[in-house]
């Protein structure tokens, strides 16, 4: 989870815009988690 937070930091400026699309956040995180694991 810590790694995911570090990857999300650069996206902070886009958070307000992406927040309007809740479905996008979980999908992106779900794709990032396995990517970080591998």
Q: Is 28 domain-assigned? A: yes
Q: Is 25 domain-assigned? A: yes
Give the pLDDT of residue 3: 59
Structurally, how many domains does the chain consist of? 1
Q: Is 22 domain-assigned? A: yes
Q: How many angstroms separate the Cα of 35 from the Cα of each of 28, 29, 32? A: 11, 10, 5
Is the whole-model pTM more than 0.85? no
Q: Is 12 domain-assigned? A: yes
Give the pLDDT of residue 11: 54
Does position 2 have pLDDT exceeding 60, yes or no? no
Q: Is 11 domain-assigned? A: yes
Tens digits of residue pLDDT in 5-38: 555 555 555 555 555 555 556 777 778 777 776 6
Which domain covers residue 30, as residue numbers? 7-37
Q: Is 23 domain-assigned? A: yes
Q: Is 29 domain-assigned? A: yes
Q: Is 27 domain-assigned? A: yes
């Amino acid at each position: 989870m810590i790694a995911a937070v570090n990857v999300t930091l650069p996206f902070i400026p886009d958070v307000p815009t992406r927040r309007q699309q809740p479905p996008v956040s979980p999908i992106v995180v779900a794709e990032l988690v396995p990517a970080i694991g591998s």
